Amino acid sequence: MKTKKIPEMKPAFLERMKLLLPDEKDLQSYLDILKVKPVKSFRCNTLKISPENLKKRLEAKRWKIFQPWENYPEVMIVEGKYVRSCAQIDKLATDSVKSLVEINNTTNKKSLKEELPFNKVLVKKSDSVDFEVNQLRAKGEQILQDLEPGEFGRSLEHLLGYYYIQELASMLPIVALKPNEDEIFLDLCAAPGSKTTQVVAEMKNTGNVFANEVSLGRLRILASNLERCGTTNTLITKKDGIILCKRFKELGIFPDKILVDAPCSGEGTLRSSYQTYLMWNEKTIKRLSKIQKKLVESAIEILKSGGEMIYSTCTHAPEENEEVVNWVLENFPEMKLENIELPIKTRPGLTKWQDKEFSSELKKCARVYPHDNDTEGFFVAKLKKCQ
């Protein structure tokens, strides 16, 4: 199978990254990790199975499972699949045969080799030889290989909704927001459902979750994922996010928590989406920044007093991150930035970008760079409505 060639990075993007990562070694580490595919991470769906039992089931498939975050056992990585080296087993078996021949004068060495296909099921021979070769198979050298193409997504456990394939950084907004049981939760830009299903699992299918998506095609994927994961407390809506918030206000629906995982330029997804290299441009960044501000403004209007909101993106662009949050602080005095606790290394939000100065409060935001944790890139800000 041919590996896709990584497109050339646009010079304007590289110059921006040099400003964000001014240390040459730091920048080079970032550029190097972009050439490496992300780890295969997933999240146990605790609505259907415990992390412990899921891990046992997957390890029975000879998958090597790693749980990277001590306090979040539901978060897992599959590092590969163990396979036995037939060549190694053959060598061990042949060596064993020589020893057995020496101590068993009634055994003909030539016929013994002919009748024992060591990389297949042993058909016949004396009980002692049968036992010996089976022991060799059990001790055979194990090699860790990648899963077969499609194996990760086609496993029975995935089809049954026991786990959800999700990039590690994508899990961080919900880790930061900490949904509680019996709350009203709004996921304003929900498809494909990664974070919505994570919310529902945290809330144990209690309360009310609204999952909104404006695109019909993406909405179908969202609905499929919610059904597969066994959600029963979720209502799907198909509305422009701004219009939906206005409708909520008219109906008197005021969520306890809101997630605005906003559409963005996707700079943090270069490792998994080479298309981002080709689509990236500064005009898109400026256009998206305006949309993001409107979405956040609409969400603030319906957030319950004392409620919390996460604003997140999968981009590094300050115009889509700190600039949006700084705009919120300037225009909505009731909104305060909260400190964020995350199980990975993060860097503080920027207080300056090019010729723009931001509030010192922006340090409470979390920047996630791929080379710091072997993840995709992400940005997370946690806001609380104080009145």
State whether 296 and 349 are in the same domain: yes
Comparing CA positions, the residue from 373, 255, 267, 263 lying closest to residue 318 is 267
Domain's final residue, options 132, 166, 200? 166
**56-64: long-range pairs with CB below 8 Å, 24+:** 57/157, 57/162, 58/155, 58/157, 61/155, 63/147, 64/144
Comparing CA positions, the residue from 176, 137, 95 lying closest to residue 366 is 176
Average pLDDT, the chain: 89
What is the per-residue pLDDT for 84? 73
State whether 33 and 48 are in the same domain: no
Collapsed DSSP state (helix, strand, coil) of residue 356: strand
State whether 55 and 26 are in the same domain: no
Number of alpha carbons in the 13 Å side-chain half-sphere of residue 235: 9
Give DSSP secondary structure letters for 58-72.
Answer: HHTTTEEEE---TT-
Q: Any catalytic annotation for residue 314?
A: yes
Taking the model in full, what pTM does it have?
0.85
Structural domain includes residue 240 = yes
State whether 262 and 285 are in the same domain: yes
Quote the tokens at residue 46: 């605790």
| Across 138-142, 251-255, 262-266, 349-353, least confident range | 138-142
pLDDT digits (tens, 9 = 90+) for 165-204: 999 999 999 999 999 999 999 999 999 999 999 999 999 9
pLDDT digits (tens, 9 = 90+) for 36-74: 999 999 999 999 999 999 999 999 999 999 999 999 999
Q: How far apart are CA 319 and CA 322, in angstroms?
A: 7
**How does residue 83 score in pLDDT terms, banded at 50, 70 and 90?**
confident
**How does residue 113 score in pLDDT terms, banded at 50, 70 and 90?**
very low
Query: How wide is the angle at C-alpha 376 spanned by C-alphas 370 and 379, nearest 5°?
Result: 90
State whether 367 and 274 are in the same domain: yes
Domain count, the chain: 3
Quote the tokens at residue 153: 């997504």
Determine the average pLDDT of the residues in 92-96.
Answer: 52
| Across 135-144, 154-163, 222-231, least confident range | 135-144
The domain containing residue 58 runs over which residues? Answer: 39-80+143-166
State whether 368 and 275 are in the same domain: yes
State whether 95 and 115 are in the same domain: yes
Structural domain includes residue 27 = yes
Read off the CATH number of the domain in which 54 is found. Answer: 3.30.70.1170
What percent of the chain clears pLDDT 70, i.e. is strictly above it?
84
Structural domain includes residue 258 = yes
pLDDT digits (tens, 9 = 90+) for 231-253: 999 999 999 999 999 999 999 99
What is the per-residue pLDDT for 142? 78
Structural domain includes residue 3 = no
Determine the average pLDDT of the residues in 335-342.
Answer: 97
State whether 16 and 46 are in the same domain: no
Structural domain includes residue 5 = no
Determine the average pLDDT of the residues in 99-118.
Answer: 44
Structural domain includes residue 318 = yes
Structural domain includes residue 255 = yes
Determine the average pLDDT of the residues in 131-137.
Answer: 52
What is the per-residue pLDDT for 146? 93
Is 17 exposed, middle or buried, given 0-12, 13-18 or 19+ CB atoms closer than 10 A?
Answer: middle
Structural domain includes residue 6 = no
State whether 111 and 183 are in the same domain: no
Query: How wide is the angle at C-alpha 169 spanned by C-alphas 220 and 335, nearest 5°?
Result: 90
pLDDT digits (tens, 9 = 90+) for 119-129: 333 333 344 44
State whether 175 and 133 are in the same domain: no
State whether 363 and 288 are in the same domain: yes
State whether 362 and 242 are in the same domain: yes
Q: Give the active site residue among 189, 245, 314, 365.
A: 314
Check: CB of residue 75 under 8 Å from CB of residue 69: yes
Query: 371: part of which helix (H) or strand (E)?
Result: helix 370-373
What is the per-residue pLDDT for 138? 55
Whether 296 shows a pLDDT value over 60: the answer reads yes
Read off the CATH number of the domain in which 286 is found. Answer: 3.40.50.150
**Where is pLDDT greater, at 315 or 117?**
315
Q: How far apart are CA 378 and CA 261, in angstroms?
A: 11
What is the per-residue pLDDT for 86? 58
Whether 130 shows a pLDDT value over 80: the answer reads no
